[in-house]
Structure 1
Amino acid sequence: MTVTSPEFAAGLAAEAEAAGITGFVAAAVINHDGRVLLVRRNPDDYMGGLWEIPSGTVESGETVLDALRRETGEETGLTIDQVTGYLGHFDYRNSRGGITRQFNFAVTVEKTEPVVLTEHDAHQWALPSGLPEVSDAVRELIAH
């Protein structure tokens, strides 16, 4: 079963639901020239100032992969060319106190510039060995 198959995405969601997790986020790890794209949360947002990979909520009726493509486009202006791998997931406490599962995918984009931000206040192409302030989960994800 490939990462891009509907069955794979449905299995991820079913596994999370079975674990009692109701919030899902799809995230894109975009590498270019040995660097990964990071975006910084607005200072007045939940976890303001923290750097993260482009990600967003899986909406009702949407698959994880549909959300991955939509959210990457909305948050960065970049278009995913290919989903090249599934990098695993991590869970975190969201702003409402519930648990959200973030599904992380390696992707390529049609072009890496311009990055157009709509929900973040800055972006950078960071070396995995020199990451800014990111969560431990994101640091571990990028280090692999």
Structure 2
Amino acid sequence: MTSPFADPSFTPGLLHDARQAGVTRFVVAAVITDGDRVLLLRRPADDFMPGLWELPSGKVEPGEEFDKALRRETEEETGLTIDQIIAYLGQFDYTSRSGALTRQLTFEVTVERTAPLTLTEHDDHAWANRADLPSVSDAVRELITR
């Protein structure tokens, strides 16, 4: 499979669409699977959106390329190393805690290994069946159950 980043128009297209929508911040998210199950992380009780289950994800730093941010954030949050970025699954927008219009770009990836996990920002993880997901946002549910 070819990474969406192999297409030279992919990133400029994402940036153009975001500017048109007034997006000021990007987050990248990884859909990591183990068989039929998808990896979800739970936000801690003292964080923004406490208790919500989400994909490994994080903010793209100014000047950082999306694929580099995806690899960095996945490793920082889980200790897992992305092997391949397989597909772009879609996006959704939300307002961050700071009030910034944020766009989450979600990618299907493979990892070198699925264990052990090292959580640094979340208080739990689950390998969830897509048909029986815990408390995830509607946007995440839609992206991972297509």
Q: Shorter-normalised TM-score: what interval?
A: over 0.9
Cα RMSD after superposing both structures: 1.3
Alpha-carbon distance between aligned partners in 2 of 1:13 and 1:123, rounded to the nearest angstrom: 31
Alpha-carbon distance between aligned partners in 2 of 1:77 and 1:126, rounded to the nearest angstrom: 19
Q: Where does 1:29-48 land on structure 2 (aligned, <5 Å)?
A: 29-48=31-50
The answer to which of 3-12 and 113-122 deviates more is 3-12
Residue equivalent to 1:3: 4
Q: Is the contact made by 2:3 and 2:84 (CA closer than 8 Å) also made in structure 1?
A: no
**Deviation, structure 1 residue 130:** 0.7
Alpha-carbon distance between aligned partners in 2 of 1:2 and 1:34, rounded to the nearest angstrom: 21
Q: Is the contact made by 1:10 and 1:63 (CA closer than 8 Å) also made in structure 2?
A: no
The answer to which of 121-130 and 17-26 deviates more is 17-26
**Deviation, structure 1 residue 2:** 5.1
The answer to which of 11-20 and 127-136 deviates more is 11-20
Q: Where does 1:55-70 land on structure 2 (aligned, <5 Å)?
A: 55-70=57-72
Structure 1: gaps of 5 or more residues: none
Q: Is the contact made by 2:81 and 2:111 (CA closer than 8 Å) also made in structure 1?
A: yes
**Deviation, structure 1 residue 12:** 1.1
Q: Is the contact made by 2:48 and 2:97 (CA closer than 8 Å) also made in structure 1?
A: yes
In the alignment, structure 1 residue 16 sits paired with structure 2 residue 21: no
Structure 2: gaps of 5 or more residues: none
Q: Where does 1:107-118 land on structure 2 (aligned, <5 Å)?
A: 107-118=109-120
The percent of aligned pairs where both chains have the same amino acid is 59
Alpha-carbon distance between aligned partners in 2 of 1:13 and 1:29, rounded to the nearest angstrom: 21
Residue equivalent to 1:88: 90
Q: Is the contact made by 2:27 and 2:57 (CA closer than 8 Å) also made in structure 1?
A: yes
Q: TM-score, normalised by structure 1?
A: 0.95
- What SS does the aligned partner of 1:124 have? strand
Q: TM-score, normalised by structure 2?
A: 0.94
User: For each residue in 1:112-137, what CA deviation from the matched residue of structure 2 results, as whole angstroms up to 9, or x when unmatched?
Assistant: 00110000000010000110011010
**Deviation, structure 1 residue 101:** 0.2
